[in-house]
Amino acid sequence: MRAVSIRQLWGRAWDFFKGHWLLFVGLYVLSVIVIFISISALIFGFIALIVGSLTPFFIVSFIGFLIVQLILRPEFMRAGYLVARKGQPSFREAFGDLSLLLKIFVYDLILRLIPGILIGMGVYRVLESPFRFAHPGIEMDAWDIMVSMGLGGTGGVLIGAGLVIFFTLCLFGWAGPYVILSGRAGVFKAIGQSFSLTARNFGKVLLAFFSVIVLAILGAIPCGLGLLGVGPMAYVFWPLLYLALTGEEGMSHA
């Protein structure tokens, strides 16, 4: 295992971030706004569906998530990778080569499809349960009440299972986009290489995940303003970790 210092990688991420803060903060704020609108539309869509009204909320939510996953996130990751590797990429380098951005989208879709379905089903069942009680047109006997409560409990289990699978896939699949961006493999081989790289450096990768979580918590304390720094910096930190673990950057820190 390569000797890699998580603290020094964060220090380098900060140095790179300072030189490109406007690009990264701009992309991050735009992503947060679109995600917030998408989640709000999704929740309102579920509520409207449960009370028997079809609305365009789902379409708005789908378009929002598609913008983030197909455009903003892949471009964010490519920009972070190029900054980590070259230090000063051009705008054309960061936002060109649409085929690579599409591959990153497909990679994320493969890893998130199963946990996304489980969490979506869980949220629907959790929201469905209280509306069974509150709907004025439904008379419920003891069996209906038990079924409704069971739906809420099943929803919680589905959400929990989805979150566990999501975290596991994120932990072992984090390096896949950088494998793709480096040109070392396509989408499916990138999954195997990411899992292999993480397995060989599990302790270091787990420490990196905890460091991101801790910094995110600390960044959220001042009314979330610290996340404007921590969030974008993470997009530089992860490719730095990848380059360090694979030896592509020639780094060796104690």
pLDDT single digits (tens) 214-250: 998 988 887 777 888 888 899 999 999 999 999 876 4
Hey, what amino acid is at 186? G
Query: For position 94, what pLDDT does the model report?
Result: 61
DSSP letter (8 states) at residue 184: S
Hey, what amino acid is at 53? S
User: Residue 232 and residue 212: Cα distance in Å, rounded?
Assistant: 11
Q: Dig out the tokens for 22 from the structure.
A: 């406007």
**What is the tens place of the pLDDT at every residue in 112-128?**
888 988 888 887 777 66
Dihedral class, residue 183 (left if φ above 0, else alpha if ψ from -120 to 50, else beta):
left
Question: The whole model's pTM is what?
Answer: 0.78
Q: Dig out the tokens for 226 from the structure.
A: 């610290």
User: pLDDT below 50 — which residues of the chain?
Assistant: 1, 140-149, 250-254
124 SS3 class: helix
CA angle centred on 166, ends 226 and 132, rounded to 5°: 95
User: Residue 199 and residue 172: Cα distance in Å, rounded?
Assistant: 7
